[in-house]
Amino acid sequence: PQTIYLKDYTPFGYRIESVDLTFRLHPTATRVISKIVFAPNPEATDKRFFLHGEELELISATVNGDPITPRLVEGGLEADVPEGPFIWEAEVEISPQTNTALEGLYMSNGMYSTQCEAEGFRKITYYPDRPDVMAVFTVRVEGDLPVLLSNGNPVERGAGFAVWHDPWPKPSYLFALVAGELINHPDTFTTKSGREVELNIWVRPGDEDKCAFGMEALKKSMKWDEDTYGREYDLDIFNIVAVDDFNMGAMENKGLNIFNSSCVLTSKETSTDANFERIEGIIAHEYFHNWTGNRITCRDWFQLCLKEGLTVYRDQMFSGDMRSHAVKRIEEVMILRARQFREDNGPLAHPVRPESFVEINNFYTATVYEKGAEIIGMLRRLIGDEAYRKGCDLYFDRHDGQAVTIEDWLKAFEDATGRDLAQFKQWYSQAGTPRLKMEESWDDGTLTLTFTQSTPPTPGQSGKKPQVIPIAVGLISPNGDEVVPTTVLEMTEAQQSFTFEGLGARPVASVLRDFSAPVILEREIDNDTRAFLLAHDTDPFQKWEMGRALAKDTLMSMIVKGTKPSFAYLDAIKSVLVDDGLDPAFRALSLGLPAQDDLAQSLFDAGVTPDPQRIFEAREELRHLLSAHLREVLPALYKENETGAFVPDAEGSGKRSLRLAVLSLLSLRDEGVTARALYKRADNMTEQAGALQALLSAGLGTEELQAFEAQWKGDRLVMDKWFTMQVASAVPETAAQVAETLSRHPAFTNKNPNRFRAVFGALSANHAGFHHESGAAYRLLADQLITLDAINPQITARMSGAFETWKRYDADRQDMIRAELERILATPGLSRDTTEMVSRILA
């Protein structure tokens, strides 16, 4: 397969004045007729007329009305074209029904849907399928279906057809078409300049009462973007469609967002608090793309973080405003560490702006998205809120309607602030997580903090340079008062000292408040100091972080030295847990233990080969000890945090998360009596699933599991939970067996990405089960991936990431994993997606 390089970018030789498409829908023989007006691009030197096209049957082609025979070449076609503007017309045939890759035009439960990002449009018609070619589209959809949708505004509607026109120039990856028997949940929104916008969420009949929450989230997002970024919606209609078979969460097609049904449908009976929270965030994310991604898009796919990092940052701020900034920040950091730090530490590490790729779909990663968002957060911290808004305004003003680069983004901030961002830009090009070492010294009222930064080598990158690191610091005096409020230190050198003068007694430093940079802080700190900060820090993130550090230290010494947990940890956690002054959601997060995968990485970093079984046992042991140590407070906490009628807001979900965390510990002591009672009484999925999970994690719940299946077998989204819970809670020696048995359940299918992930995503997330010494889970996952690759390469490639941490483990495990990876790689006809991923993991 061919590698594409950022440095090789050249503009396309032609511009597009207009695109007219006609779709004659048919499950196995859809005709796509295109009429495209091209004109030479004065800025381009390469005048080769090449159109991308894959899996298309070319029926006819003309240039200015004259039939031509284009040269079919690898990945598309070439033709000789006139020197001036000309009209290209072509007719192709495609087969949506047999498209199981879910890229291009495909069918899902009788409805037609598209997914074009990143390079799916070339499976629909011949086209310059690259983001820097922006055009105005008019689309006519013909088909005997009640609902026919495309981008933009509706122009005409008649028996068996509909015409749509999108006035905003867009790249082909934002094209969308949906057709089917759908029902809408309608609403309206009036923009701040008075435009009446029709809003719809389109779903399959039966799901229409699961749209209200999503609609509210959409309206809140529209309002928030006006208030916070001054960005208004720009069409007369905004449609959202729910699709069951979808490779990711959702897609921001202009005016026609398409969602995985799991990321938009809600009801209190079928969705958990976590679902509600996530859905609110995803709806906002896709909506926010209308400006950051659609109106201003990426010049090429290397600039993916330009739209994704920024849009994630925007959705994070939105969620913080809607809920709690403190709780959201902790959750964001947990996700960043679990996915991005993991990626950055292994063979798949890459810069936020990669310099080469084989298959771009493999770069929709935690690094591009989550680290990309962290970079925006750092930029804002460094320049301040006002300058951030000024820079954004300038960026929108300057680049509206363009396909741009990270350089353009940063230039807007340089021009708005007068600041040089050359060194800051390294965050986009340097892979790996910086290690930030801190040393302290105290001399007669002056505290000196000395930081040393270094970034370990990553594939293809050694000799890393110092980066700009904003370090938010506060100082707490020994009596618990904050003597220096949060101050952002700006580190730019490999080593740098900062002093705080005129202090009375030696204070305790609270460092990296709000997780002000995506780095690993290394600092000599004892558990008493951690407990002190846990009790007194005013920064909620650091407060949580200290509890987490205590738990981690406790677990690490249990694993490595076989010690018993100290009372210092147990007491510190207890005091947070019973502190009514603290948000219940925060208390629940503090009670949580570090994940097994996180412990494995920390052990590896400390020079210890992680033993997954031992990690699992230590964590279980600690859960039991916590349950015993907290036995007097658990029942009261369980009672106090009961909520009334279910409302999926921050307050209600916070209480439920604390209550369910408590229930999980209680269930280790009361034989499941409390959890069983809750299971019977629950009128919402948060509590029903929470009670079942508490039972399963105590080795109970067999009957409830059966009852759950009987109750929910008709609801695919709830059944996904049923599949996941069993694999997630399986003990190490049975996890592979449980997953294997479930893969033979009549409701299992590898054609639906949600269902496949429900079982095999859960298997790879069950750390001790996946890494069980028998190697059974490695073999099972490899078998499944080999079969899936022929059906859906994108999901296969993504899930092969389960093996990315293989070099952490002992030689036996490494041998077993290498053998499985080699077996996958040797599969005849293996997709480009999976070939690239597995080769990188093996390298």
- CB-count burial class (<10 Å; 0-12, 13-18, 19+) for 128: buried
Task: Give the residue among 741, 794, 798, 806 at the shortest CA–CA distance from 767.
Answer: 806
CA distance 821 to 765: 18
Nearest residue (CB) to ligand B3K, 310 versus 549: 310
The active-site residue, picked from 286, 374, 687, 836, is 286
Task: Give the residue among 141, 206, 152 at the shortest CA–CA distance from 178.
Answer: 141
Q: Select the span of 10-18, 122-130, 243-251, 533-541 touching ligand B3K (CB under 6 A).
A: 243-251
Nearest residue (CB) to ligand B3K, 259 versus 532: 259
Q: Read out DSSP for 250-292?
A: EE--TTEEEEEGGGT---TTT--HHHHHHHHHHHHHHHHTTTB
Q: Select the span of 42-50, 267-275, 285-293, 330-338 touching ligand B3K (CB under 6 A).
A: 285-293
Task: Give the residue among 270, 86, 389 at the shortest CA–CA distance from 713.
Answer: 270
Q: How far is CA 730 from the centre of its chain?
A: 26
Residue 282 Cβ, how far from Zn ion at the closest point, in Å? 9
For residue 117, the partner it binds in ligand B3K, Zn ion, none, with Cβ less than 5 to 8 A by kind, is ligand B3K
Among 20, 225, 286, 370, binds ligand B3K (CB under 6 A): 286
Contact flag: residue 248 with ligand B3K (CB under 6 A): yes
Binding flags for Zn ion, 336-375, as an x/- string (CB under 5 A): ----------------------------------------
Q: Which helix (H) or strand (E) covers residue 105, if one does? A: strand 104-108
Task: Give the residue among 136, 206, 200, 148 at the shortest CA–CA distance from 177.
Answer: 148
Contact flag: residue 306 with ligand B3K (CB under 6 A): no
CA distance 732 to 613: 7
Nearest residue (CB) to Zn ion, 283 versus 665: 283
Contact flag: residue 800 with ligand B3K (CB under 6 A): no
Residue 289 Cβ, how far from Zn ion at the closest point, in Å? 6
CA distances from 745 to 73, 313, 336, 689, 723 (A): 44, 40, 34, 20, 10
CA distance 259 to 265: 9
Binding flags for ligand B3K, 97-136, as an x/- string (CB under 6 A): --------------------xx------------------
Contact flag: residue 764 with ligand B3K (CB under 6 A): no
Nearest residue (CB) to ligand B3K, 766 versus 792: 792
Token pair recorded at residue 191? 């923009």
Token pair recorded at residue 430? 């340097």
Contact flag: residue 370 with ligand B3K (CB under 6 A): no
CA distance 410 to 154: 37
Query: How many helices and strands (H and E) does the chain possess?
Result: 30, 31
Residue 287 Cβ, how far from Zn ion at the closest point, in Å? 11
CB-CB contact of 186 with 147 (8 Å) = no
Nearest residue (CB) to ligand B3K, 301 versus 541: 301
Residue 157 Cβ, how far from Zn ion at the closest point, in Å? 31
Residue 282 Cβ, how far from ligand B3K at the closest point, in Å? 8
Among 308, 359, 611, 704, binds ligand B3K (CB under 6 A): 308
**Count, residues in the chain:** 843
CA distance 563 to 556: 9
For residue 248, the partner it binds in Zn ion, ligand B3K, none, with Cβ less than 5 to 8 A by kind, is ligand B3K
Nearest residue (CB) to ligand B3K, 500 versus 756: 756
Catalytic residue flag (residue 286): yes
Contact flag: residue 425 with ligand B3K (CB under 6 A): no
CB-CB contact of 356 with 373 (8 Å) = no
Q: Read out DSSP for 647-677?
A: --SHHHHHHHHHHHHHHHHHTTTSTTHHHHH
Q: Select the span of 250-258, 510-518, 747-755, 776-784 touching ligand B3K (CB under 6 A).
A: 250-258
Residue 366 Cβ, how far from ligand B3K at the closest point, in Å? 12
Query: Position 121: which residue type?
Result: F
Contact flag: residue 251 with ligand B3K (CB under 6 A): yes
Residue 633 CB contacts under 8 Å (≥ 6 apart), including other chains: 574, 577, 578
CB-CB contact of 471 with 491 (8 Å) = yes
Strands laid side by side in the 111-115 sheet = 104-108, 111-115, 177-180, 147-150
Residue 481 CB contacts under 8 Å (≥ 6 apart), including other chains: none
Residue 785 Cβ, how far from ligand B3K at the closest point, in Å? 18
Contact flag: residue 295 with ligand B3K (CB under 6 A): no
Q: Select the span of 175-183, 216-224, 245-253, 650-658 touching ligand B3K (CB under 6 A).
A: 245-253
Contact flag: residue 799 with ligand B3K (CB under 6 A): no
Count of residues that interact with ligand B3K, criterion CB under 6 A: 12
Nearest residue (CB) to Zn ion, 282 versus 383: 282
Residues between 270 and 329 with contacts to Zn ion, criterion CB under 5 A: 308, 311
Residue 769 Cβ, how far from ligand B3K at the closest point, in Å? 28
CB atoms near residue 331 (< 10 Å): 18
For residue 89, the partner it binds in Zn ion, ligand B3K, none, with Cβ less than 5 to 8 A by kind, is none
CB-CB contact of 166 with 48 (8 Å) = no
Among 89, 225, 252, 597, binds ligand B3K (CB under 6 A): 252
Nearest residue (CB) to ligand B3K, 75 versus 249: 249
Residues between 133 and 172 with contacts to ligand B3K, criterion CB under 6 A: none
Contact flag: residue 545 with ligand B3K (CB under 6 A): no
Enumerate binding residues for ligand B3K (CB under 6 A): 117-118, 248, 250-252, 285-286, 289, 308, 361, 364
Binding site for Zn ion (CB under 5 A): 308, 311
Residues marked active site are found at 286
